[in-house]
Structure 1
Amino acid sequence: MNMSHSAQGANSQGPKVPDKITCYGCNKNKPAHSFSKTQIAKYMSNIHNEYAPKGRTTKKHHIMCKQCTPQQNSSLTCMICTRTKPLDSFAKAQRKNAEKARCLECMKKREEDDIDDSEPDTDSDGSFNETWDDIL
């Protein structure tokens, strides 16, 4: 019985990160330190993922360097008043759709403008038209 007691590779954590990685954004070969840990993890899952079928993920991740990765927005423009305001001026639900975002101030104004407070409908001769609210 020939048993090897070598410790070679005992602490290896899987495949090694390569020295150079190609950025999807600028299409340049850059050193690994130019990429975030998340991007490197995505890159490595393209190469090897021990939990995925056949050792690879089915989705091909596009890896982008820190310079090409878009930054988080710190402000939004309200679609009602067209003012650009910081994120804390918008409700969380409004932040999800930046094109249709309404600031808290405009939302409050809209809430205060109650439809039921409008004047009753009248004909051109000044007579009152009944609505379903008047009948019920």
Structure 2
Amino acid sequence: MSSSKTHSAQNANSQEPKLPSVLFCYGCEKEKPIHSFSKTQITKAMSNIHNRYAPKGRTTKRHHTTCKQCTPQQNTSLTCMVCTKTMPLDKFAKAQRKNAEKARCIECMKKQQDEDTDDSEDYDESEDGSYNETWDDIL
């Protein structure tokens, strides 16, 4: 027998559903070809059609798939609330990137930290300037 023959029962037990040729985009409200969607959006759409792990083969949540044109792009810059300069993300600490409205750049954070350390007073031995005795003084 040659290996080039295919059997009619080949992939008969396959649980994977076939990809549709078009999907509905909720952004532009049009049906578009499958290549207009990212892999993530296709996966979401397929979970609406069939999910072998979900009860009755379908998920209860309806995913609103959007095409590549309607999907928002990742932010590549932020505006510092102190100096009001718009800079790339690498000029901001990761903690500052989480809240874009209150983001402060690394440079402004360093300036603030330097000002805070300069404002602190030197530590005195006592607040009233009196001399505190030690055990050596007593003995």
Residues 19-64 of structure 1 show CA distances to partners (whole Å, capped at 9, x for unaligned) of: 1111010001100010011100000001111011221122211100
Q: Does 1:18 align with 2:20?
A: yes
Question: Scaled by the length of structure 2, what TM-score is found?
Answer: 0.76
CA–CA separation in structure 1 for the residues paired with 2:14 and 2:32: 24
1:39 aligned partner: 41
Identity %: 75
- Of 98, 106, 109 in structure 2, the residue corresponding to residue 107 of structure 1 is 109
CA–CA separation in structure 2 for the residues paired with 1:134 and 1:27: 72
1:55 aligned partner: 57
CA–CA separation in structure 2 for the residues paired with 1:13 and 1:85: 48
CA–CA separation in structure 1 for the residues paired with 2:110 and 2:93: 11
CA–CA separation in structure 2 for the residues paired with 1:70 and 1:84: 19
The runs of 5 or more residues in structure 1 that have no matched partner are: 120-132
1:87 aligned partner: 89
Question: Scaled by the length of structure 1, what TM-score is found?
Answer: 0.77
Structure 2 letter corresponding to 1:23: C
Note the C-alpha offset of 1:6: 4.6
Note the C-alpha offset of 1:81: 0.6
1:129 aligned partner: none
* Number of residue-to-residue matches in the alignment: 118
- Of 21, 29, 36 in structure 1, the residue corresponding to residue 31 of structure 2 is 29
